[in-house]
Homo-oligomer: A and B are copies of this chain.
Amino acid sequence: MRIGFIGLGTMGGAVAANLLHAGHQVTVWNRSPAKAEPLVAQGAVLAADAAGALRGDLLLSMLATEHAIAEIGLDGALLAHASKDLVHVNLATVSTEFARRIAGNHAARGVGYVASPVFGRAEAAAAGKLTVVAAGDEASVAKARPVLEAIGQRLVVVGSSPEQANLFKIAGNFMLASVIEMMGEALALVRKGGIDGNLFYQVMSGSLFAAPVFQGYGALIVAEKFEPAGFSLRLGLKDVSLALTSSAELTVPMPLASLLRDRFITLMAHGGEHLDWSAIGGLAADDAGEPPWPEADPPNARSS
């Protein structure tokens, strides 16, 4: 299949490489062109401009924010350059409100649209082990299906309205952040009671909580290893804010999401934006007077 690909960050680059390996003809474009070079070396065609990526059967995009999508006109004007029958598969995590608007703009211009956010970090993307969540009209999803199946280990179609895939992803990320908070509070408690935090972590994540999310984030919190960021605090705040926006739109009060938002903001206020989002798991200890951040060491959360 002839596939255009816009947005070649860590995640996007890994997915695009997989498509090349799978034998697809991939035309790439990225705002900062250096990121396209490794893919061109692997056989991708470099588009002269963003519009050049809209000439194939499918366009995949993986841009970090709604702002980045809007800046290149991918939410509207750029679609004028789309080939007939193009289906755009948006892999980004965006708000349901934005998803609705962008879906409407595609429909108005006769371009197919599938929202398809993914679960998994960059390593999972590289290994083709993403969980891919998709929503869109039947024909568009059908056309995108083989490609979506290729980039992940599991494809889940969750609805016919694109925003539903985004809502699904947003709810999942809320759960991830909740696990971080929960482990942070539990660890702060047992540690201040003189119990070995690592033992607590090992027992819990080896029994009832024996899942990747506990094992992965638990290890980071126990080791207080919040740098380098696998997923940044800033993006964590973005995601929990998306959950709260949806919660208002759908009138579903989410007190735990509200708590998480305050945690992210607290750490942002203390210079922690470059940390991994699991760093909010250190705030309970900090509140308890036993901060995981050494005093003299930036970001020095809450040590003024």
Could you mark each residue 265-304 of chain A with 1 if its beta carbon is under 8 Å from any beta carbon of chain B, else 0?
Answer: 1101111000000000000101111110101000000111
A190: interface (CB < 8 Å): yes
Give the Cβ gap from A65 to chain B, nearest Cβ, in Å: 15
Kindly report which residue of chain B lies nearest to residue A161, judged by CB atoms: B194
Looking at the assembled complex, report how far the CB atom of A286 sits from the nearest CB atom of chain B, in whole angstroms. Answer: 7
Copy count, this protein chain: 4
Among B161, B243, B295, the residue within 8 A (CB) of A304 is B295
A304–B287 CB distance below 8 A:
no
Most chain B beta carbons < 10 A, residue from A167, A193, A252:
A252
Say yes or no: is A154 at the interface (Cβ < 8 Å to chain B). yes
Distance of A190 Cα from B133 Cα, bound (Å) = 13
- Pick the contact of A302: B204, B213, B286 (CB < 8 A): B286
Among B183, B196, B211, B252, which residue has its beta carbon within 8 angstroms of that of A175? B183
Contact B253 A284 (CB under 8 A): yes
Q: What residue in chain B is nearest A172 (Cβ atoms)?
A: B204
Which one of A172, A288, A291 has the highest number of Cβ atoms from chain B below 10 Å of its Cβ?
A288
Q: Is A186 an interface residue (CB 8 A)?
A: yes
Interface residue? A113 (CB, 8 A): no
Inter-subunit contact A164/B193 (CB<8 Å): yes
Whether, in the assembled complex, A119 has its beta carbon less than 8 Å from a beta carbon of chain B, the answer is: yes
For A271, list chain B residues within 8 Å (CB). 289
Enumerate chain B residues within 8 angstroms of A163, measured Cβ to Cβ.
Answer: 193
A163-178 contact mask (Cβ, 8 Å, vs B): 1 or 0: 1100110111011101
Structural contact, B252 and A195, CB atoms closer than 8 A: no
Partner of A158, one of B119, B199, B255, B290: B199
The answer to whether A208 touches B204 (Cβ under 8 A) is no
Q: Which residues of A234-283 have CB atoms within 8 Å of chain B's CB atoms?
A: 237, 241, 243-244, 246-248, 250-259, 261-263, 265-266, 268-271
Q: How far is the CB of A199 from the nearest CB of chain B, in Å? A: 6
Instruction: Give bound CA distance, A79 to B185, whole Å.
Output: 37
Residues of B within 8 A of A196 (CB): 158
Q: Is the CB of A269 within 8 A of B251?
A: yes
A226 on interface, CB distance cutoff 8 Å: no
Q: Can you list 19 contacts pairing A with B, beta carbon distance less than 8 Å?
A: A154-B203, A159-B195, A172-B208, A174-B189, A175-B183, A175-B204, A178-B178, A178-B182, A179-B182, A181-B256, A192-B251, A193-B250, A211-B211, A253-B284, A253-B287, A255-B255, A266-B288, A290-B304, A302-B303
Q: A156-B199, A175-B186, A211-B214 are in contact. List 6 more A-B contacts (CB 8 A).
A: A158-B195, A172-B208, A188-B254, A189-B246, A210-B212, A248-B261
